[in-house]
Chains A and B, each alone.
Chain A
Amino acid sequence: AQKVTQAQTEISVVEKEDVTLDCVYETRDTTYYLFWYKQPPSGELVFLIRRNSFDEQNEISGRYSWNFQKSTSSFNFTITASQVVDSAVYFCALSEASSNSGYALNFGKGTSLLVTP
């Protein structure tokens, strides 16, 4: 069963628009961790953020912000004033304390974001 759902397969915006990438997760654990990674066209996976299940405080880092809501099992990612360099595939991932795989990441299918000038 898919533990992380990113319903938006592709999003296209014009530069300077705000865009929100949705992520819904599923777990029975009380202790878990949520991540966002970015995969630019060059192909590497770049870590953006980690949140644990006990900290629902939203976080802002420059133009990036994250909204974690346990009540809806969501961990959404917003890019404010998008730029062409934000074009990439963005992955949401879940890590569970009960995992046999040492906090390995369960990834969603990714959302491909295209920002055009």
Chain B
Amino acid sequence: DAGVIQSPRHEVTEMGQEVTLRCKPISGHNSLFWYRQTMMRGLELLIYFNNNVPIDDSGMPEDRFSAKMPNASFSTLKIQPSEPRDSAVYFCASSDQPPESHSGANVLTFGAGSRLTVL
């Protein structure tokens, strides 16, 4: 398997522009997570999907952020309008454990990340 695929790897945009980050999880994984990494706040969970359904979006910083998962093989994270403080590395991760499972916590496999710079 090619692992978790994220695109673009780098994005430079101007304040106010719309940004869309994309993620293809590992085939067969039914849990998908979006994380944001900044120097100040470290790695933060933004949103969690299970079977394409958003389960916990409490980490989404504000209404400018939205995420979708239209099918099991694709997810997007959109920022509209973007602001300089959104500059960060955004990671997508997937795993193969449903939340109801008690057989053990899943290992999250992370994509390479999308580095966003908002000028």
Contacts and interface: CB of A to CB of B under 8 A. Distances in A.
12 contacts: A44-B113, A45-B91, A45-B113, A47-B107, A50-B107, A100-B56, A101-B48, A102-B99, A102-B106, A103-B105, A107-B43, A108-B42
A interface majority secondary structure: loop
Interface of A: 31, 33, 35, 37, 43-45, 47, 50, 52, 91, 95, 97, 100-110
Interface string B27-48: 0000101000000001101001
A33 B56 contact: no
B43 A101 contact: no
Contact of A50 (B31, B45, B105, B113): B105
Contacts of A50: 105, 107
What are the 6 A-B residue pairs with the smallest beta carbon separation, nearest first?
A: A33-B105, A102-B99, A45-B110, A107-B43, A103-B105, A101-B56
A96 to B, nearest CB: 9
A37 B91 CA distance: 14
B31 A102 contact: yes
B112 interface: yes
B109 interface: yes
A47 B56 contact: no
A108 B41 CA distance: 10
B65 to A, nearest CB: 16
Contacts of B109: 47
Nearest to B47: A101
A104 B45 contact: yes
A109 B42 contact: yes
Interface centre among A31, A35, A105, A110 (most CB of B within 10 A): A105
A53 B104 CA distance: 10
Contact of A43 (B45, B89, B95): B89
B112 A43 contact: yes
Nearest to A52: B104
